Structure formats: C-alpha cells, structure tokens
Amino acid sequence: MTRSKPPTGANIAGRVKREGEPVVSVAGLSKDFGDRRAVDDISFTISSGECVGFLGPNGAGKTTTINILLGLARKSAGRINLLGREIPEKHRQVKRRIGVVPQADSLDPDLTVAENLLTYAGYFNIPKKKALAKTGELLHFFALSNRSDEIIEHLSGGQRRRLLLARALINDPQLLILDEPTIGLDPQARHLMWERLEILKEQGTTMLLTSHYLDEVSRLSDRVLIMDQGRIVAEGAPRQLISEMVGLEVFEVEGSGAELDELEKKFSTCKAEIERANDKLYVYTREECDRLEKLLAGKRDWLRRPANLEDLFIQLTGRSLREA
Amino acid sequence: MSGLYFRAIWLRNARVWRKHVMSSLIGNLGQPLLFLIAMGYGLGRDIEVIEGMTYLQFIAPGLVASAVMYSAAFETTYGSYTRLSIQKTYEAILITPLEINDLVLGEVVWAASRGFMAGLIMLAALPLFGVWPSVWTFALLPVLFMAGIFFAAFGLIMTALATNYDFFNYFTSLVITPLFLFSGIFFSLQTMAPKARLIFEFLPLTPIVNLSRMFCYGRIEGIWLYQVGGFLLLTVFSVWLAIVLLRRRLIQ
C-alpha cells in the first residue's frame, strides 16, 4: 500500500474555517412509510467545522434521515435548513455545496480513476480546466496519482473507498456526509482513510458521519447523535456522554453462574452498574473502584478497560439484534 | 441554463460508450442489416412490385426506423437498468445538483442519440443494396430522432417498473418484436382487412415506418403532418410518464 505523506500545506477541502454557524438545522423531522414511522420528530443542528457522528442500530432511521437531507426521500413533517437554505425548495443550490460518500460503491466501473472524477465534476458543472486541476490535486492527496488511468475494476477496496471520498470533494463541499466510509476495509486501509478525514477535519470541513465502527466514530467525532427506533435517544460529546451514562471503567468477567452471583454481591460495594448477559458479568463503575481488582485475583477470564462508545451504544439500544 | 443540466449525463454515457463502440454498433446494426439481406435480397427476388416498389425498396426505410427503435429501447432497458441497480449510477447522480428530470432527459436524449446514429448508419448503407434515398430524407432525420426519444422513454418506463432483467425478456418478446413484425415494415397495411389494419395503424412504430418510406422516396402524402403531430404528443406523454415513474422508484 502506498502511504505517501499528503501535502499538509494544501487546503484540500478548499474551505475557510468558520466555526459556530449552523450548517445543518433540522426541526421536528418525521418520515412515515405507510404505517411505519421511520423517523419520529427529531431535531438537531450541526455547526460549521463540527464532525457529528450519527449512530444507531440498523433500521434506527439514520439512512432515512440522510436520504431526506439529500432529497432521496421526502419528509412527512418538519423543517430542514441546509447551508442557510430551506430544503427541499432549494435543493439544487444546496447540493452544489454538499459532498457525499455513499455506503454502496457507485463509481463508474467502465471509466478510469481520473474519468470518474471528471465525470462527477460535470454533474456540478465545474469548468473543464478547474476540474482537471482539482482531479490532480485530489488524486495526489488520496495517494491515487499512480492509478489515474486504471479502470475501477482493477482497484483494491481501499483505493475505491478513497476514490469515493475524493469524488465527494470534487466540488469543495461545505458539508461532507459520510455513510459508512470505511465499510469492508482492512485495518491498514481504514487507518489511511482516517488520516485523510482527520486532515479534512483540521481544515474545517463540516462532517456528518454514520458508522457501525464505534472506534471510528470516537476517533473522528466532536459530538454524537444516537438514534433508535426513529428517535434521537442521546446527544453530546462522546467522552462526556460515556462518563455520564455508562461510567468510568468496565470490568468484564466470565465464569460459572455461582461464581458470578458471588462476585456480583461483592462488586455492589462500589458505586457501579452491574449487568449480566450471556454468562458474562459487566460492571460499569461510577467511581474509582481499584480495590475491586483484588476480588478478581484468582480469576483468569476478566478484563478491566475504560468505558467506550460501544458500551454507551449497547446501553441505549440494547443487546438484541435489529434485523428488518 | 437550467434546461441543460442533462448534458452532463449525456456526456457520461458517451464517455462509457466510447470504450465499447464496436460491440454496441454490431449489436444495434446486425439485426436490421441481416433482415435487409435475407428478406430484401433473398425473399425479395421472388416478390413482384409492392406499392410500386421492389421488395428491397419497400422494407429498407422501415428497417431504418426499426434500427432506431432497437437501439434506443435497448439502451434504456438493459443499459439503464444496469445503471439503476448494479452500478448505482443514478444514486451517484442524484446526490449531486442533478434531479430526476435531468436524469430522465439525459438518459432519453442519450438513447435517442444512439438510436439516431443507428438510423443514420442504416440510411448510409442503403446505397450498398442499390437503394438510393431522395433529398427528402433530410426531413426524415428529425422524425427519426423523435422516434428515438419515444422508444427511449418507453424503455425507461419499463426500467422504472422492472424488478430484474427477466422483465425485459417480456418487453422484447411481447412489445418490441411484435412492433418490428406488425408495423408495416414487411407487408403493406393498405391491402389488409379494415379491422386488422386499424389495429396495426395504431402501433407506435407504424407512423415512423410510414414516414420513413414517404420521405425516403420523396412520395409525400398529406397524412404526414398528422402522423408527426400525433407521434409528438405520444413522445411528450411518454417522457412525462418516465419522469413520474422513475421518481416514484427512486425517491422514497
């Protein structure tokens, strides 16, 4: 894999950092599919320069919400303002300034890497000369310059994903919407994507990110919105939400039912939430519980770790599978 | 300006098409040319004059019209359905400033261009078979392009309704092939029983076959204006329906 250093001086997103202005403002948004309410009266804003992680189990309503923002679905109720304009009335103007990395690979398989970008530039009516310059710049930034004339079929999964991100930046977007940007990638390819996204973030690109990889969301997001069954069930900075709603640390202990019963009693001496699931004991501590580690002295299968976004996610949306 | 958004989609399709020009031309022109040889030259030698023409002369203009139909309709069925489903090209386009109207116009005008090109090549090939089109043939060109628009929109309507590729087998067997056989390309409708003739006259390819024959040989009849006008209305309606149905399919 090529890991050439990106040009840090160049402002690839082409945006000046302006924090604070709302880029996305959604109020009372609902969407019904027949009898089913997919999105149920949600409201949120995203400020300029912010990266917001949009989380939720499958079927929570994230994709529907994004589709409404993009005009791929019609809202049933509510108001949406994107980049200072009402949606859907001003969609055409607004979408000039939005970049999207869709979940499904929608690159043109018959075209080369460069042709894909040039064709996409055409959809934004970007003049040929400017499109050529931008294409060169983006291919360099995403370490794809040497694949410029390759047809898409010959690219690796990581290269395709980077090209999808490059394509989303062809119009210098003020808002970047990333729907599962690293789905199906190996760890090396994911890290490369993250590095590039972090540079974009530093340059002030406003981002809305959905992902099932919660480490990805923790790493990139300033704030998360957690959706479940069409509603926003939590919203805030990840660290703050985790410490408020989950706790400081997590002990995970495996053992027989009797052993765990006994431990559960002992653990209750410390301020902590205790959960039993699948023959495992989970202790979410609300205060320093160092002494608890002594209780586990003789045990083999246990783990002490900081509480993370995944704990929060499971706590809010449950452990059961969500399948449509 | 706002009316020209579809141009980007036309250019996208042209860019892809350039990569396999040969296979697509052979696919589109093979059939009408083979029919011209087999029926016009082969069968035609045993047929006396039909409506004052040799059989080869009689079927040649209709085969030009059919080449337009095949090219345009196949592009917006098999081609467009691939872009809609497997390649997700429509999704990629609709997240840009382009909208459903632009998408439909781009696809339809592109497919009509391909149909038109197939028609032109067929016309240019006719002298090889000893069939010489008249100067009136230039007036036929816009009619052929309009026919391309109609059959492209018709194909796109099928794409908006299709759930898989098998759907297009029905479309080909039950719609396109009967149109090819019964629109007066191979036999004269004038001598048919009035009731049967009425049905055949209302097939959408029939006016195009008539107009092709008229303009190709400069034998202009007054009915041409009605046929062009009627077909134009049908074309506008089918483009509108393609927009409505594709919007229903793509926008939830």
Write out the residues of chain A at the interface with chain B, using a CB-CB cutoff of 8 A. 33, 64, 67, 70-74, 91-93, 95-96, 98, 100, 102, 104-111, 115, 119-120, 122-125, 171
CB-nearest partner of A123 from B20, B98, B250: B98
Write out the residues of chain B at the interface with chain A, using a CB-CB cutoff of 8 A. 5, 8-9, 11-12, 15-16, 19-20, 87-89, 91-99, 250-252
Report pLDDT for B1.
39
Among all residues of chain A, which has the CA nearest to that of B90?
Answer: A106
Residue B110 sits at the vertex; the CA angle it makes with B104 and B113, to the nearest 5 degrees, is 140
User: Bigger pLDDT: A89 or B150?
Assistant: B150
CA A282, CA A310: separation in Å to the nearest integer?
A: 13
Report pLDDT for A321.
67
Nearest chain B Cα distance for residue A119, angstroms? 6
Contact B8, B14 (CB under 8 A): no
Q: Which chain B residues are closer than 8 Å to A171 by Cβ? A: 96
Report pLDDT for A322.
62
Chain segment A231-269, per-residue pLDDT in tens: 998 898 888 888 888 888 888 888 887 778 877 887 777
C-alpha distance from residue A138 to each of A77, A133, A142, B183 (Å): 38, 9, 6, 53
User: pLDDT category, A323, cuts 50, 70, 90?
Assistant: low
Cβ contact B252–A73 (<8 Å): yes
| Residue A269 burial (10 A CB sphere; 0-12, 13-18, 19+) | exposed
Contact B50, B217 (CB under 8 A): no
Nearest chain A Cα distance for residue B98, angstroms? 7
Among all residues of chain B, which has the CA nearest to that of A152?
Answer: B87
Q: Return the bridge partners of A235, or none.
A: A225
Cβ contact B91–A104 (<8 Å): yes
Cβ contact B99–A91 (<8 Å): yes
CATH 3.60.20.30 fits A247-306, yes or no: no
Chain segment A136-186, per-residue pLDDT in tens: 999 998 899 999 999 998 999 889 999 999 999 999 999 999 998 888 888
Q: How many CA atoms lie within 13 A of B203 on its CB side?
A: 24
For all residues of chain A together, what is the average pLDDT? 86
CA A207, CA B251: separation in Å to the nearest integer?
A: 24
Q: What is the DSSP string of A205-254?
A: -EEEEE-S-HHHHHHH-SEEEEEETTEEEEEE-HHHHHHHHT-SEEEEEE
CA A57, CA A42: separation in Å to the nearest integer?
A: 16
CB-nearest partner of A108 from B20, B87, B99: B87
Cβ contact B93–A123 (<8 Å): yes
CATH class held by domain A22-237:
alpha beta
Average pLDDT per block of 10 residues along chain B, 252 residues long:
78 93 83 88 86 90 95 95 95 95 96 95 90 91 96 97 94 95 91 89 93 90 87 96 96 90
Q: SS3 string of A281-301?
A: EEEEECCCCCCHHHHCCCCCC
Among all residues of chain B, which has the CA nearest to that of A115?
Answer: B15
CA A153, CA B19: separation in Å to the nearest integer?
A: 14
Contact B9, B102 (CB under 8 A): yes
Report pLDDT for A94.
93
Cβ contact A110–B16 (<8 Å): yes
Q: Which chain A residues are closer than 8 Å to B11 by Cβ? A: 119, 122
Alpha helices, DSSP H, located in chain B: 7-19, 21-35, 55-74, 80-84, 89-94, 100-125, 137-161, 166-171, 177-182, 194-201, 206-217, 224-250
Q: Which chain A residues are closer than 8 Å to B252 by Cβ? A: 33, 64, 67, 72-74
Among all residues of chain B, which has the CA nearest to that of A68?
Answer: B252
The answer on pLDDT for A2 being more than 60 is no
Cβ contact B91–A102 (<8 Å): yes
Cβ contact A95–B97 (<8 Å): yes
How many CB pairs below 8 Å do chains A and B form together? 77
Report residue B214: phi and psi, to 5°.
-60, -55
CA B145, CA B247: separation in Å to the nearest integer?
A: 25
Nearest chain A Cα distance for residue B154, angstroms? 24
Report pLDDT for A1.
42
Lowest mean pLDDT segment, chosen from A31-40, A171-180, A290-299, B81-90: A290-299
Cβ contact A72–B252 (<8 Å): yes
CB-nearest partner of A72 from B20, B94, B98: B94
User: pLDDT category, A20, cuts 50, 70, 90?
Assistant: low
Q: Which chain A residues are closer than 8 Å to B9 by Cβ? A: 123
The CB density around residue B196, as the number of other CB atoms within 10 Å, is 11
User: Bigger pLDDT: A11 or A269?
Assistant: A269
Mean pLDDT in residue range A1-5: 47
- Determine the residue among B9, B16, B96, B102 to mutate to test chain A binding: the one whose Cβ has the most chain A Cβ atoms within 10 Å: B96
Chain segment A189-227, per-residue pLDDT in tens: 888 889 889 998 998 899 999 988 888 888 899 999 989
Cβ contact A124–B5 (<8 Å): no
User: pLDDT category, A15, cuts 50, 70, 90?
Assistant: low
CA B242, CA B252: separation in Å to the nearest integer?
A: 16
CA A56, CA A53: separation in Å to the nearest integer?
A: 10
| Residue A323 burial (10 A CB sphere; 0-12, 13-18, 19+) | exposed
The CB density around residue B121, as the number of other CB atoms within 10 Å, is 17
- Determine the residue among A75, A119, A128 to mutate to test chain B binding: the one whose Cβ has the most chain B Cβ atoms within 10 Å: A119
CB-nearest partner of A119 from B15, B97, B251: B15
C-alpha distance from residue B130 to each of A157, A196, B38, B118, B124 (Å): 56, 65, 15, 19, 11
CA A202, CA B45: separation in Å to the nearest integer?
A: 79
Lowest mean pLDDT segment, chosen from A106-115, A265-274, B141-150: A265-274
Would strands A231-236 and A51-55 be described as parallel, antiparallel, or unpaired?
Answer: unpaired
Cα Rg of chain B (Å, integer): 18
Mean pLDDT in residue range A285-306: 79
Among all residues of chain B, which has the CA nearest to that of A112?
Answer: B16
Cβ contact A125–B97 (<8 Å): yes
Report pLDDT for A9.
45
User: Residue ranges of the domains in chain A?
Assistant: 22-237, 247-306
The CB density around residue A125, as the number of other CB atoms within 10 Å, is 17
Cβ contact B95–A98 (<8 Å): yes
Q: Which chain A residues are closer than 8 Å to B88 by Cβ? A: 102, 104-106
Q: Which chain B residues are closer than 8 Å to A104 by Cβ? A: 88, 91
CA A25, CA A80: separation in Å to the nearest integer?
A: 6
Among all residues of chain B, which has the CA nearest to that of A94?
Answer: B97
Q: Which two tokens mark A213?
A: 């990889």
Contact A20, A39 (CB under 8 A): no
CA A236, CA A23: separation in Å to the nearest integer?
A: 17
